[in-house]
Amino acid sequence: MLIDSHCHLDFPEFVEDRDDVIRRAREVGVRLMLTISTKITEADKIISLAEAYEDLVCSIGIHPHEAGSEPETSADELARIAAHPKVVGIGETGLDYYYEHSPREAQKKNFQSHISASRDTNLPLIVHARDADTDTAMILEEEAGKGSFPGLIHCFTAGPELAERALNIGMYISFSGIATFKNTQEIRDVIEIVPLDRILVETDAPFLAPTPHRGKRNEPSFVRHTAELIADIKGISYQEFIDISGTNFFKLFTKAIPPEKSGQPLTASSTS
C-alpha cells in the first residue's frame, strides 16, 4: 500500500490542477495522501481540503518558519482542532536553524506546545528538523521523559545520531526524494540503519522532486521513486517495501483506517 505520508496539497502550486495531481497519484497506486498544515490560521482551509477527497487526510500545526508570525497556540487549542475526523497528526513543528525565519525561542516554545498536544491526543507529532539536530534531540528526549508521545521526523536529512536518538524514544523516520539525489549518500547510509518497521516515505510536495523529476514541481505520484530506492537499499522488492511502509503508517497514524478494515476507500476515522 503506497502512501505519501507528507505533502502540501493546499499550497498555491496545486490550485490550478489539484484534481489532476490526485488522479495521477491514484493511477500509480498511491492509496492515501497526508497533507500537512504549516499555519494554524489556515486550519479550516486544510481540513476542508481533506474533506473534499476520500483518500486525503491532514494534520494541524505551525511550521517552525511560521512560529514567529502565527498566533501563539496552546496545546489545548491544538487538541481541540485535532478532534476533527480528518485530522490524523500534529504539526508540522520542530526547529529550523538553516533559514531561521522565526526566532529560535519562538520555535522551541511552539515545538513544546505541539509535543504536549501530541501527548494529550495520542496523535503523531510530525517533526521538521534542519540544522538543529542537537536541540531537536534534546527537546524530544526531555519531553519523552515527561510522558510518551508518538511521532516521526519527516524528510530526514540529518546524520545517524539524530536518527538513533529519535528511534530510541520510539519515533519513526520518513525519507523524501532528497535520498535519490546523487550527492546525498549520508542519507542513504541512514536508510541502511533505520529498521524497516520504522520507515515511512513521502514527497514533501511541491518541494524536493526526486530523480528523475528533480527540478520540477513535486507531486504525490512521484513518491514511488523514493520507495523504489529504499526498497533497493534494503534489499527487498518494491511491493514488500510499500506493504511494510504502509503498515508502518497505520501503526503510527492510528486515526487513519486501512481500506481492508473499513471496506471503503481510505479515509479517516469518525472518532478521535
| Global confidence as pTM | 0.94
Helix then strand then coil, % of the chain, to nearest 5: 45, 15, 35
Here the CATH number for the domain that contains residue 246 is 3.20.20.140
Q: Is 154 annotated as a binding residue?
A: yes
Please give the Cα distance from 79 to 104 (Å, whole number).
24
Give pLDDT, residue 271: 34
Q: Is 92 annotated as a binding residue?
A: yes
Q: Is 63 annotated as a binding residue?
A: no
Domain with 251 in it: 2-268
Residue 257: pLDDT band (50, 70, 90) is confident
Give pLDDT, residue 272: 31
pLDDT at 197 over 50: yes
pLDDT over 90, % of the chain: 93
pLDDT at 205 over 50: yes
Residue 40: pLDDT band (50, 70, 90) is very high
pLDDT in tens, 143-188: 999 999 999 999 999 999 999 999 999 999 999 999 999 999 999 9
Q: Is 114 annotated as a binding residue?
A: no
Residues facing residue 127 across a β-bridge: 93, 153
Residues facing residue 200 across a β-bridge: 174
The candidate with the shortest Cα–Cα distance to 90, out of 76, 103, 108, is 76
Quote the number of domains for the chain: 1
pLDDT in tens, 86-141: 999 999 999 999 998 999 999 999 999 999 999 999 999 999 999 999 999 999 99
Counting beta carbons within 10 angstroms of the beta carbon of residue 264, is it exposed (0 to 12), middle (13 to 18) or buried (19 or more)?
exposed
Alpha-carbon dihedral of residues 244, 133, 93, 150, nearest 10 degrees?
Answer: 40
Backbone angles phi and psi of 236, in degrees to 5: -125, 170
